[in-house]
Amino acid sequence: MSTSKWDVTFLVYRKKGQGTPHYDEFTIKVNPDEYVLDAIERIWAYQDRSLVFAHACHHSTCGACGMRVNGVEKLTCITLIRDVTADGGKVKVDPLRNFPIISDLTVDMGVLYTRMDEVGHRPVLPLSEEPAEPGVKPVKIAAEGDIIRLADCIECGLCISACPIANTTSGYLGPAVLAGALQHGLDSDQHLFSLVEGENGVWRCHSAFECTEVCPSYVEPAGKIMELRKQVIWKRIFGIAK
Amino acid sequence: MSKPHVIVIGAGFTGVATAHDLALRGFEVTVVERGPIVNGTSGRTHGLLHCGGRYCVKDQESAIECIDENWILRKIVPQVIEPNGGMFVALDDNDVEYGESWTAGCDACNIPYERLTPKEALEIEPNLNPDLLLAYSVPDGTFDPLRLALAFAATAKSNGAIFRLYTDVTELLMDGQGTVTGVKIWDRSADERGELFADVVVSATGAWSGQIAEMAGAYVPIQPTPGVMVAYDRRLVSNVINRLCKPSDGDIVVPQRRMVVVGTTSYDVEDLDYVPVNEEHVQLMLERGSELLPTLRNTNSRGIFVATRPLIGAGIPGRSVARTFKCFDHKENDGIDGFVTITGGKATTLRMMAEKTTDMVCQKLGVSVECRTAEVPLLSYRQFYALQN
């Protein structure tokens, strides 16, 4: 870690109850190798105790601390300050889009959670139960190589915030939910199939791939939506998804 | 007659589990938490569902609590647990020698284990140090910290508990005769202040319990002890990997999702609300962790974080303090009625801590209802967001 400190000004979105939203400025000394969440926590601890923000695990396993940093969706607990500004620079911090704001930087992600339950997504699975890719045998940890697992979705909401379709239609299931639906595959459940192929399902996606761009958990929701489209067509033609 | 009302301060693991137990036993419950669910120590755990093996030599009371609660949590909240198992690995002669008292400790505490040859261990975990001398497999697991707490909170909410998040307790209300009667609150999301009254106030504020107790002029012998953890961005192991040695710095690797978390250290702290990372400890995690998993040296770190354990006892070095918990009725020690503190312990024992706390509340209010939390399965953690307050 670097020992030289930077002066950084944080422009923080503020909103209380029915009050008018505005931005507050906080200038603090930071180590550039600290995370944006560290700076926000310190602003709360030493400058303004009224600041409301969500966080829990501080290492990208819970998904609570998603925000927009300089307009881009980030999991703030693993976003290095050095990657978003420079010494003497500014960092603008906003709550996620496409969710109701509770206060300041905290949003209500209830809809996302409810929909994840509706598609039966399971967030914590042993490696033996979820293969790396659909149809692939259960994973053994190899000395080399990466794995992609849908259980890795931490429901942080970054993909929903970044999605241009979620921004125009609150009914759209959204990237995390559709990716979550793939965990079971479409053959498992008729309700799931209707949801996925329905008007708020896979065909609403415009393939912007913003979701994959911002996903901090390597779930690659856009690719999963494309895979689901394939499954929907197979199921329509041959009666089974695979 | 209306139900007795209990205010729980803190929505960490102990607070949410206590809210669940109280609600299940028929109390009216309000949880007051200054941040979101588990924003303090609880959220920042490495997520180890202990089998007790880390304590079975020096602190058997904690070890027995761990293995008992490990089995219970697997049963009531499987949705947030990866039952991946764990290993204790010996890398040198000292470790092998420690293994003798360790197996005796496991026998005494009823912790099942199985001896593995180096070849067997490496077959299960190819990234382990190939020079390991022996290993034991144990029923460790990992849990998702936020979702474990949410499952308890969701079930509490479904039984009527009310959660006031982003709400600070600014003062304890006293009746002038040494009884706590409620709390003064500041709801920061609406910027509104108010008062809440209760028959009993439970402080479940862990490392912060000393500060809350002070508000009532009471004392809790709490020793907040931070430790550094480092998350690396590859899942190098399937199991939890423990060094077969007495608990020390950097002797555990906990897999979570696509990561492994190496922990932890132990140091002193002045301001609990913001604990800076001790940078030497980050280097230490890499050095000690790579003794167990040499490939850690070629793996990027993903998140560096600090959690402050609430250890009970004052003036004793952090590692020597027992990891068990304690429930304080402040009437006994401080002459202050209507006020209970629960602190110490570990995530794995959250349900048991809640049971003892709720027993104490029942006893103070003359209520006699059996605890059922060891049998009642918890709701989907996502219901916390679906249910209205």
Note the pLDDT tens digit of each residue in A11-32: 999 999 999 999 999 999 999 9
Note the pLDDT tens digit of each residue in B111-148: 999 999 999 999 999 999 999 999 999 999 999 999 99
In this structure, the answer to whether residues B382 and B247 fall within a common structural domain is no
What topology does CATH give the domain A110-238? Fumarate Reductase Iron-sulfur Protein; Chain B, domain 2 (1.10.1060)
For chain B, say whether A125 makes contact (Cβ under 8 Å): yes
Residues within 8 A of A (CB atoms), B 309-348 only: none
Note the pLDDT tens digit of each residue in B327-359: 999 999 899 999 999 999 999 999 999 999 999
With helix as H, strand as E and coil as C, how does chain B read? CCCCEEEEECCCHHHHHHHHHHHHCCCEEEEECCCCCCCCCCCCCCCEECCCCCCCCCCHHHHHHHHHHHHHHHHHCHHHEECCCEEEEECCHHHHHHHHHHHHHHHHHCCCCEEECHHHHHHHCCCCCCCCCEEEEECCEEECHHHHHHHHHHHHHHCCCEEECCEEEEEEEECCCCEEEEEEEEECCCCEEEEEECCEEEECCHHHHHHHHHHCCCCCCEEEEEEEEEEECCCCCCCEEEECCCCCCCCEEEEECCEEEEECCCCCCCCCCCCCCCHHHHHHHHHHHHHHCHHHHHCCEEEEEEEEEEEECCCCCHHHCCCCEEEEEHHHHHCCECEEEEEECCHHHHHHHHHHHHHHHHHHHCCCCCCCCCCCCCCCCCHHHHCCC
Domain residue limits at B278: 85-140+223-312
The yes-or-no verdict on residue A146 having pLDDT over 50 is no
> In angstroms, what separates the C-alpha of B357 from chain A's closest C-alpha?
24
The yes-or-no verdict on residue B87 having pLDDT over 90 is yes
Note the pLDDT tens digit of each residue in A179-203: 999 887 888 788 999 999 999 999 9
For position B214, which CATH number holds? 3.50.50.60
In this structure, the answer to whether residues B128 and B230 fall within a common structural domain is yes
**Spatial CB neighbours of B265, under 8 Å, sequence gap ≥ 6:** B227, B228, B249, B250, B278, B281, B284, B285
What distance in Å separates the CA atoms of residue B173 and residue B176, rounded to the nearest whole number? 9
Q: pLDDT band for B1, please (50, 70, 90 cuts).
A: low
The CATH code for residues A6-107 is 3.10.20.30
Q: pLDDT band for A134, please (50, 70, 90 cuts).
A: very low
In this structure, the answer to whether residues B235 and B288 fall within a common structural domain is yes
The yes-or-no verdict on residue A139 having pLDDT over 50 is no
In this structure, the answer to whether residues B370 and B243 fall within a common structural domain is no
- At residue A144, the pLDDT reads 41
| Average pLDDT for B255-283 | 88
In terms of Cα–Cα distance, which of B233, B258, B256 is closest to B84? Answer: B256
DSSP code at position A6: E
Is the residue at B68 inside a domain? no
Q: Do A56 and B43 touch (CB under 8 A)?
A: yes
Instruction: Choose the weakest-confidence range: A126-135, B135-144, B268-277.
Output: A126-135
**What tokens appear for A91 in the block?**
């960092």
For chain A, say whether B376 makes contact (Cβ under 8 Å): no
In this structure, the answer to whether residues B355 and B332 fall within a common structural domain is yes
Find the farthest-apart pair of alpha carbons in chain B and give their distance in angstroms, rounded: 69
**What tokens appear for A74 in the block?**
């980030």
Delimit the CATH 1.10.1060.10 region(s) of chain A. 110-238
For chain A, say whether B183 makes contact (Cβ under 8 Å): no
Note the pLDDT tens digit of each residue in B285-295: 999 999 999 99
The yes-or-no verdict on residue A147 having pLDDT over 70 is no
Is the residue at B56 inside a domain? no
Q: Do B385 and A109 touch (CB under 8 A)?
A: yes
The yes-or-no verdict on residue B381 having pLDDT over 80 is yes
Q: Which residues of chain B does A126 touch, with a Cβ-Cβ cutoff of 8 Å?
A: 82-84
Residues within 8 A of A (CB atoms), B 93-112 only: none
Cβ atoms of residues B261 and B231 within 8 Å: yes
> In angstroms, what separates the C-alpha of B303 from chain A's closest C-alpha?
5
| Average pLDDT for A209-216 | 97
Q: Tokens 């697992």 map to which residue?
A: A149
Regarding an ipTM greater than 0.90, the answer is yes
Query: Nearest by CB to B146, which of A1, A56, A102?
Result: A56
- At residue B321, the pLDDT reads 62
Q: Which residues of chain A does B144 touch, with a Cβ-Cβ cutoff of 8 Å?
A: 61-62, 123-124
| Average pLDDT for A193-219 | 95
Average pLDDT, rounded, for chain B: 94
Which residue of chain A has the CA closest to B385?
A: A110
Query: Nearest by CB to B305, which of A59, A106, A123?
Result: A59
User: pTM score, two decimals?
Assistant: 0.95
The yes-or-no verdict on residue A210 having pLDDT over 60 is yes
Say how many domains are in chain B. 2
Q: Which residues of chain A does B271 touch, with a Cβ-Cβ cutoff of 8 Å?
A: 45
In terms of Cα–Cα distance, which of B198, B217, B197 is closest to B335? Answer: B217
Q: Tokens 């809640």 map to which residue?
A: B354
Note the pLDDT tens digit of each residue in A63-73: 999 999 999 99
